[in-house]
Structure 1
Amino acid sequence: MIPVTSLAGKTVAVFGLGGSGLASCQALRAGGAEVIACDDNLDRMVEASQAGFITADLRTMDWRPFAALILTPGVPLTHPAPHWSVLKAREAGVEVIGDVELFCRERHRHAPDAPFVAITGTNGKSTTTALIAHLMREAGYDTQLGGNIGTAILSLEPPAKGRVHVIEMSSYQIDLTPSLDPTVGIMLNVTEDHIDRHGTIELYAAVKERLVAGVAPHGRAIIGVDDGFGRDMADRLQRAGQPVQRVSVQGPLADGIIVEHETLIEVSGGARHEIARIGGIGSLRGLHNAQNAACAAAAALALGVSREAVQKGLRSFPGLAHRMEQVGRQGGTLFVNDSKGTNADAAAKALSSFGDIFWIAGGKPKTGGIVSLAEFFPRIRKAYLIGDAAQEFAATLEGRVAYEISGTLDQAVPSAARDAAASGLSEPVVLLSPACASFDQFRNFEIRGARFRELVTALPGVTPV
């Protein structure tokens, strides 16, 4: 745990008592603050009370004694409208911040030179975050991994000399972290997502930009420039005099890191230097993972890891669950769990990585559906449609891709496995990459992916990869 000493002796309101909220309560108390905890969910209020925290309905309280409101990232700060707790705080002149901000303040107070890597982007940030942590650990560094990837940042070990914190950040978390100044900041890409929470894609991109714009003067901003938002960010920061390392997997760069023939290459002043080769690494299959690997390698190199250690770490990276996770084989059929493919852009990454696909798709649909995936339709031998999006997806695929409306994952998996086995193809792939949120049938994408894994391993003759 990281005790929050910056608010010692003060009274702090905490709204949102999920994992990161409770961790904030514990860290604040450990640092000497008095905590008043609140949530719209009464069960969470009871849990916090049982953990020894004072709970109260913040709507009925006098806010003048509060030094800050610590807001969970899942609660609206601006769009579609500020949460009532945010309005209360603003009326009382109380700052609204998040748990990563508390971490930043502790780092400033106790170990300002401790390496801090922050990663954001619409897609790929979890894989990149995990890969950076893996590279640092394999190179012998004391490494803490957390943030949006699953472990609340304040549950990690405190910042210290030689200890690296590798933190995934959502746009919601960036919005709540005004003093964000990582040693290395990475912005992978921007595509349409979370518009309901930011209003427009331009505002969403502007929040993402804060992470790389805040990089410490001696640090490095690493920006994926294969979309217009990333290119514009890199240009703006460079004009402002900030060191920027561009990364592209789609074209040449005068300076930066590129990927050619499954090789990461650093280009600088006209010279080219090979960093590492990623060909044949199953956990880094696909162009999107080439970008993840390039950004992760750039971060590790910036922190002093050798190219030899980077190459070794890339080859030993096991990958992440639910991100193009190779679950097993049944004869020649490969089963891949990409449950994290919760929008069309993420699903495109998986579809582009395989041929002869038996595709399981659907769930709670997002804006735009799967129309943008038409270029990958020739790779799909048949689609198995589930959830609320099934009829919408069927209309898009009609006359272009064979499909069946399976309805549920339990029905789709055996159907896809049967058809793949009967196809006569040399390496058919049964791919769960839903291009949808999970919330119509599953509480989250992890549970959806775990169910896929269970169904696949229960098939006769399946062996682990």
Structure 2
Amino acid sequence: MRIADLAGRRVAIWGFGREGKAAITAIRTRLPSLPLTLFCSEAEVAAARVFDASLAVRGEEPDATALAMFDVVVKSPGISAYKPALLAARETGIRITSGTALWFAEQPDARVVAVTGTKGKSTTTALLAHLARSLGVRTALAGNIGMPLLELLGESAGLWAIELSSFQTGEAGQVELGVMTSLYEEHLDWHGSRERYIEDKLKLANVSKQLLVNATQPPLLERTARHPYRIVFGDAKGWHVAGGFICRGAQSLFEIAKLRAPGEHNALNACAALAALEALGLDALRAAPALADFRPLPHRLQPLGEHDGFHWVNDSISTTPLATLAALGSLDGRAVTVIVGGHDRGLDWSEFVAAMKAHAPHAIVAQGVNGPRIANALREAGVAVEEAGDLAAAVARARALTPVGGTILLSPGAPSFDQFHDYADRGRHFAEMAGFDAHEIVGIEGLGIG
């Protein structure tokens, strides 16, 4: 469905975040006289009316009866596709679409690399754009990484590096290359079950002419084995990590220590980006040295600096226990106090607990809504853990536990919604609690076309 197809139809927008605003703006640009109804939270009503005075604004979550008044619903990614109201609407023939789906319909000839994965997708997408630009390719960086695709509607680029969340993979049109960095359980509250989350992630494979997957993940290899044009990264024949280097086959090309984004998992993300370039027919070998110039994304193992005798690392993007394990692995050998916990999505922490039993950091502080559950699991395994009610209390406790010269790491392994608007809000508050200027935590560089 293209935007022009909305003409003469009764259209509702559900969600007034950045995606919702981008959808309203794009539709207004193409169909300025089309009546639009917006469903948003009650707290957003006033701002919505200021944003677009011609909107019919309803400060409520619509039920099936409310949606039955419309022909098309354009929903934001955060609105679960499995909400009963949306499922009922589909049953009655109401068209459910999104900003992602509208963009793909508008630009069917765009050369797209779509990147998804439980972890690593943002960094891999940004690395891909950075490396492609180093080769002189006019490249767009957009999608779930921080710029809705509809904000770039009508723009042209030689390559589109697009991040897709599990909420969006089923909305994409055909792409030249799909990239899957990892596959763990997450967002169970949106998808409803672990299996459905995996199925939704794998929908990217269905629309990818070529599919690039992480060879270090056997379950991912098994799930994608039937793709007719599958290629891999992370094995010794192609782009992989070995002996402290990023390698192409037997050739060592880039020393991992020179990456500004720390950790072997980030080196593997670089391998994914280089393998993607190669799959597109671009000169990945020539692009590899540009890895040294890539600036790490904020809130992703972001070193804030030293303050009050401690080194502070902001990994607020960490929303799964396995992401926390990766963060700890990147700091191995240091005296680390890790702060974990937040909003409880019901994820399984058993693998984290087993890893802590085998090799715990200097200290662990559990906080937030699921902090007690994490702490109980650790204590039952014989792992020492401290508890704090919220992030502020956890930071104070970490200061007391950490030796001078040690590292205080925020890597919650859980979403932020119990205390903060989102992971970025949590990361900025953590920086302030550590004694840094949160305004210096800049947004993601390179968004848009460059």
Q: Normalized against structure 1, the TM-score is what?
A: 0.82
- Where does residue 386 of structure 1 map in the other structure? 367
Q: Could you list the per-position Cα deviations for residues 254-313 of structure 1 after superposition, in whole angstroms to 9, with x for gaps in the alignment? A: x5432212333344xxxx455x32411353322321221111111223344433542232
2:154 pairs, out of 149, 155, 158, with 158
Q: Structure 2: how far apart are the matches of 1:403 and 1:202?
A: 32
SS of 2:128 mapped into structure 1: helix
Residue 455 of structure 1 pairs with residue 441 of structure 2? no
> Greater relative contact order: 1 or 2 (C-alpha under 8 angstroms, separation 6 or more)?
2
**Partner secondary structure for residue 155 of structure 1:** helix
Paired residue type of 1:21: G
The one-letter amino acid paired with 1:365 is: D
Q: Which amino acid aligns with 1:94?
A: I
Alignment-derived partner of residue 104 in structure 1: 104
| Aligned pairs (5 A) from 1:59-138 | 66=71, 68-78=72-82, 81-82=83-84, 84-91=85-92, 93-108=93-108, 112=109, 114-138=110-134
Kindly report which structure 2 residues correspond to 1:200-279, keeping only aligned pairs within 5 A, or say none: 200-216=193-209, 220-237=210-227, 241=228, 243-248=229-234, 252=235, 255-267=237-249, 272-274=250-252, 276-279=253-256
Q: CA deviation digits over 1:1-60, x for unaligned, max 9?
A: xx9445456553322222101211111121226242221423434433331343266766
Q: 1:337, CA displacement in angstroms?
A: 0.6
Secondary structure of the residue aligned to 1:280 is helix
The reply to whether residue 16 of structure 1 matches residue 15 of structure 2 is yes
Note if 1:367 corresponds to 2:346. Answer: yes
* Counterparts in 2 of 1:448 and 1:32: CA distance versus 1, 3 Å: same
Aligned equivalents of 1:350 and 1:26: distance in 2? 39
User: How big is each residue's C-alpha offset from its partner over 1:405-457, in whole Å with a ceiling of 9 and x where there is no partner?
Assistant: 233332333443454334xxxx6321111122222222211111111111223
Report what 2:44 is aligned to: 44
The alignment of Structure 1 onto Structure 2 pairs a total of residues equal to 425
* Residue number in structure 2 paired with 1:310: 287
Mapped pair 1:293 → 2:270 = yes
Q: Is the 8 A contact 1:325 1:336 kept in 2?
A: yes
Q: What SS does the corresponding residue of 1:74 show, helix, strand or coil?
A: coil
Letter in 2 for 1:39: F
State the match for 1:196 in structure 2: 189
Q: Please tell me the root mean square deviation across aligned C-alpha atoms, in Å.
A: 2.8
Partner of 1:412: 394
**Other-structure match for 2:300:** 323
Question: Quick one: distance in 2 between partners of 1:236 and 1:379?
Answer: 39
The 5 Å alignment of 1:327-346 reads 327-330=304-307, 333-346=310-323
Conserved? CA contact 1:121–1:188, under 8 Å: yes
* 8 A Cα contact 1:37 1:53, kept in partner: no
Partner residue of 1:169 out of 150, 164, 178: 164
Counterparts of 1:144 and 1:328 in 2: how far apart (Å)? 31
- Which amino acid in the other structure matches residue 232 of structure 2? R
CA shift digits 1:224-263 (9 cap, x unpaired): 13334311233110xxx3x211122xxx45x543221233
2:434 and 2:319 map into 1 onto residues whose CA distance is 20
Assess if the C-alpha contact under 8 Å between 1:25 and 1:37 holds in 2.
no
- C-alpha spacing 1:265/1:35, structure 2 compared with 1 (3 Å): farther
Aligned residue in 2 for 1:463: none
Equivalent residue letter for 1:29: R
Q: Which runs of 5+ in 1 are unaligned?
A: 460-465
Output the TM-score relative to the length of structure 2: 0.85
Identity %: 28
Sort the Cα spacing of 1:87 and 1:38 in 2 relative to 1 into closer, same or farther, 3 A. farther
AA of the residue aligned to 2:196:
L
Aligned with 2:393: secondary structure? Answer: helix
Query: In structure 2, do the counterparts of structure 1 residues 273 and 102 end up closer, same or farther at CA, with 3 Å as the change threshold?
Result: farther
> Does the 8 Å contact 2:366/2:374 carry over to 1?
yes
Task: Report if the CA contact (8 A) 1:245-1:257 is conserved.
Answer: no
Quote how far apart the aligned CAs of 1:191 are: 0.8
Amino acid across the alignment from 1:244: R
Counterpart in the other structure of 2:142: 146
Quote the Cα distance in structure 2 between the aligned partners of 1:206 and 1:85: 19
